[in-house]
Chains A and B, each alone.
Chain A
Amino acid sequence: MVGFALSLLLGAALVAQDAATAADVTEPGRTLERPLEIVLAGRGAEATERTLIVIVDPSAGLAAAGFADAFERAVAQNARWLAKTRFGLGVLGHKGCVVLPPGAPAAAVVAEIKNRLAKPAAEFQNVYADLRGVAAAFSGESGAREILLVTLENGDLEDDLEQTAAALQKARVTVAVLTSEATLADSWWVSRSYQEKPRGTTLAGGDAPVIDLPWGWLFQVPIANEITPAGYAAYGLNRVAAATGGKVFLYANANQTAHVCGISAECLFCTGEHLPQHEGFRDALLRRMAPSTAPRTEACATLAHDPWFRLVVRAWLEAADEGLIRSTPSVKLVGTSAQPERQKNVRVLDLLSSASFARHAKRAEQAAEAAGKLGASVQSDLDRLEPGTGLQRCEAAAHLTRFMIQLSRVNLLTFAAWCREDAPRLFGKDAEDPALPEIPVVEGDRQPAGIGFTNLVLCHGVRPFLGVELPGGAALRPELEKLELLRLQFVARYGNTPFSFALHKAGIAEFHATFPGVTQPPPRRRPKSGEETGPTTPSRPERGRPTTGGTTGGPTSGGGR
Chain B
Amino acid sequence: MLWAALAALPAVAQEDPAALVALLGSADAQTRVDAYNKLMRVRSVELMAQLAKVLPQLPLHGASLAVYLLDAYPWEASAPLWKKLAGQGSAFVRATAAAAQWRRGDKSQGAALAAAIAAASPEERTYVLGRLHGIDDQAVVAAVRGYVRPGAIDAVIGQALDLLVQSQKGRDAETIAAAEALIGAGGETEAIARAYLVAAGEGARHAAALAALLRDLPQLYQVTRFLERASRLEPVLIDAIAARLAAARTEYDLGRLVPLLQKHAPGQIEQALKHQLDNGDDKLRSAALKALAAVPGALDAKKLQEMLAADDPLLVLAAADTLRRMDDPAGIERVIGLTRKAGKHRPEAVRVLGGFRDARAVPPLLDAFADGDVQVRRAAVTGLQTILPDLFPYRRFDLERAGLRADAADAQRAEGLRLVRAWWDARK
Contacts and interface: CB of A to CB of B under 8 A. Distances in A.
Interface of A: 31-32, 60, 63-66, 69, 73, 118, 120, 253-255, 257-258, 268-271, 273-277, 280, 418, 422, 434-441, 456, 460-461, 464, 467-471, 510, 550-553, 560-561
The CB with the most chain A CB atoms within 10 A, among B230, B294, B388, B396, is that of: B396
B76 interface: no
B398 interface: yes
A70 to B, nearest CB: 8
Given A268-B393, A439-B397, A254 B264 contact: yes
A65 B325 CA distance: 32
Contact of B325 (A273, A470, A553): A273
21 contacts: A31-B232, A60-B169, A65-B231, A273-B325, A275-B325, A276-B327, A437-B397, A437-B399, A437-B401, A437-B420, A437-B423, A438-B396, A441-B394, A441-B396, A467-B357, A467-B391, A469-B393, A510-B393, A550-B296, A552-B266, A561-B267
A418 to B, nearest CB: 8
A32 B201 CA distance: 13
B9 interface: no
Contacts of A464: 327, 357-358
B240 interface: no
Contacts of A118: 170-171
B395 interface: yes
A276 B323 CA distance: 10
A275 B294 contact: yes
A254 B263 contact: yes
Contacts of B219: none
B262 A441 contact: no
Contacts, number: 126
Contacts of A120: 170
Nearest to A469: B392
A468 B359 CA distance: 9
Contact of A277 (B327, B357, B393): B327
Contacts of A437: 388, 397-399, 401-402, 404, 419-420, 423
B326 A66 contact: no
A555 to B, nearest CB: 12
Interface of B: 169-171, 201, 203-204, 229-232, 262-267, 293-296, 301, 322, 325-327, 355, 357-359, 386, 388, 390-399, 401-402, 404, 419-420, 423
Given A437-B399, A438-B396, A551 B357 contact: no
Given A268-B357, A275-B294, A64 B170 contact: yes
A274 B323 CA distance: 10
The CB with the most chain B CB atoms within 10 A, among A64, A254, A439, A464, is that of: A254
Given A66-B201, A276-B327, A254 B232 contact: yes
B397 A438 contact: yes
A350 B404 CA distance: 43
Given A73-B204, A471-B394, A551-B262, 8 more contacts: A64-B201, A66-B232, A269-B390, A437-B388, A460-B327, A467-B357, A468-B357, A553-B266
Nearest to A426: B394
Contacts of B388: 437
Contacts of A32: 232
Contacts of A552: 266, 296
A438 B423 contact: yes
A551 B294 contact: yes
Contact of A468 (B203, B295, B391, B419): B391
Contacts of A257: 263
A269 B357 contact: yes
Contacts of B357: 268-270, 464, 467-468
A63 B265 contact: no
B169 A436 contact: no
Contact of B201 (A60, A69, A422): A69
The CB with the most chain B CB atoms within 10 A, among A253, A437, A456, A470, is that of: A437
A468 B390 contact: yes
Contact of A255 (B169, B263, B293, B393): B263
Contacts of A60: 169-170
Contacts of B170: 60, 63-64, 118, 120
A44 to B, nearest CB: 27
Nearest to A254: B263
B326 A63 contact: no
B299 to A, nearest CB: 10
A-B pairs with the 4 shortest C-beta distances? A437-B402, A254-B263, A253-B231, A436-B402
Contact of B322 (A270, A275, A441): A275
Given A254-B232, A277-B327, A468 B393 contact: yes
Contacts of A468: 357, 390-393
A521 to B, nearest CB: 19
B167 to A, nearest CB: 15
Nearest to A425: B394
Nearest to A511: B394
A464 to B, nearest CB: 6
Contacts of A560: 266-267
A303 B394 CA distance: 44
Contacts of B395: 434, 438, 441, 469
